[in-house]
Amino acid sequence: MDDLSEVLRYLKIQQELYGNTLYFTPVKSPKESQEFNVNDKHPLLEYDEEIHNCQKCDLAKSRTHFVFGIGNPQSDIVFVGEAPGKDEDLTGIPFVGRAGKLLDKILSAIHLTRDNVYILNVLKCRPPNNRDPLPAEVEQCEPHLIRQLEIIHPKLIVCLGRIAGKTLLRLDLPLSKMRENVYNYNGIDTIVTYHPAALLRNPNFKRPAWEDFQKIRDQFLIGS
């Protein structure tokens, strides 16, 4: 790192990956530690540095920040939205604002925090006016998601919202139907539930969403 701005960016990424705790022992595998080497970086951090200037699609021209992801890089659970919104574009952090705060509350209800999970989006840049991702954008950005999942190696993917589920699973079904099954995405169990923003718009979705998170707690957390 040659200047102060690069140092500050490095520290910000460390905070986004690990919260306010600095880890000085890199990981050998998702579940094993190894002897500390001052030159080592977590592979997820290295990958962020590799792609954060991505210019593969036109969304790069209008973005404020590239939104890589946040949370525990060793998590068993990854939450996936379709794309960053306005607040995410401004901060570079996924699921902030009212929807993000609601997600934090739901996680807390099943005894999780952002330090226990990993949160990201299919697209890393905000589409204009928060429109749905275009197929060409997904084609360019999905390999980034796949690589992130290979590094994190989670046991479960939770798609937040119908668009995220449709994009990953290639299923054009109502969310009520998507919720009924456990799917497979690149060898990882995958379920679909409501996006927190949908719960803010329609409180009637809160009960089925809570049922989904109870299933996460009871089937994927207990005994894991």
pLDDT of residue 119: 98
pLDDT (tens digit per residue) in 92-142: 999 998 999 999 999 999 999 999 999 999 999 999 999 999 999 999 999
Report whether 79 contacts 119 (CB < 8 A): yes
Question: What was the pLDDT predicted at 40?
Answer: 65
What confidence score (pLDDT) does residue 32 get?
A: 38
- pLDDT tens per residue across span 53-99: 999 999 999 999 999 999 999 999 999 999 999 999 999 999 998 99
pLDDT at residue 220, as a whole number: 84
Distance CA 179, CA 161 (A): 10
Mean pLDDT of the chain: 86
The mean pLDDT value for 155-168 works out to: 96
- Is there a contact between 151 and 44 (Cβ–Cβ < 8 Å)? yes
Give the pLDDT score at 41: 78
Q: How far apart are CA 204 and CA 181, in angstroms?
A: 21
Q: How far apart are CA 215 and CA 183, in angstroms?
A: 14
Q: For residue 71, what are the β-bridge partners?
A: 118
CATH 3.40.470.10 fits domain 4-221? yes
What pLDDT is attached to residue 59?
A: 97
Span 174-200, pLDDT tens digits: 999 999 999 999 999 999 999 999 999
Distance from C-alpha of 203 to C-alpha of 64, rounded to nearest angstrom: 32
Query: Cα–Cα distance between 34 and 20 in angstroms, integer?
Result: 22
Within the chain, strands assigned E span: 27-29, 32-33, 70-71, 77-81, 118-121, 156-160, 183-185, 188-193
φ and ψ at residue 158, rounded to 5 degrees: -115, 110
The answer on pLDDT for 35 being more than 60 is no
pLDDT score at 20: 56
The pairing of beta strand 70-71 with beta strand 27-29: unpaired
Q: What gap in Å lies between CA 158 and CA 86, rounded to an integer?
A: 22
Q: Give the Cα separation of 9 and 19 in Å (integer).
A: 14
What's the pTM value of the predicted model, to 2 decimals? 0.81
Q: Is the pLDDT at 6 greater than 70, yes or no? A: no
Instruction: Please tell me the distance from the alpha carbon of residue 144 to that of residue 83, in angstroms, as a whole number.
Output: 13
Encode burial over 95-123: b for 16+ CB neighbours within 10 A, e otherwise: bbbebbebbbebbeeeebebebbbbbbbb
